Amino acid sequence: MAGRHEVLCVNKRDRYNPHEKITSIGGKNQDGTRWKVSQESAIEGIESGKWSFFVSRGGRTVDVIVALSRYGNKYLKTETDGENPNNLLSLAECPL
């Protein structure tokens, strides 16, 4: 799973809270198989340059980036795109 990947789903601690922390992200490989990684692994992959992720919605593509909370915790979000909540948080739940 090297390279650039489209995020199609997320897992959150509280599925119905649009601002709850993401625990994992997922998508599909070119061969149709599914992939899923923890938020921590995704952050490490982005920071090391191993992976990059993006979200496509309504004909627009935005990159997933690592952000830092006011408490110093790293988390995933999309670049500013005018969507509220962040369009990464509004993706469907990843299957188990």
pLDDT of residue 82: 59
pLDDT digits (tens, 9 = 90+) for 19-34: 568 999 999 998 999 9
* Chain mean pLDDT for the chain: 86
Dist. CA 29–CA 57, nearest whole Å: 18
Query: Which domain covers residue 70, as residue numbers?
Result: 3-93
Higher pLDDT, 17 or 91: 91
Stretch 43-54: mean pLDDT, rounded?
96
Q: Is 57 exposed, middle or buried (0-12, 13-18, 19+ CB in 10 A)?
A: middle
- What is the pTM (predicted TM-score) of this model? 0.85
- Counting the structural domains of the chain, the total is 1
Stretch 84-90: mean pLDDT, rounded?
72
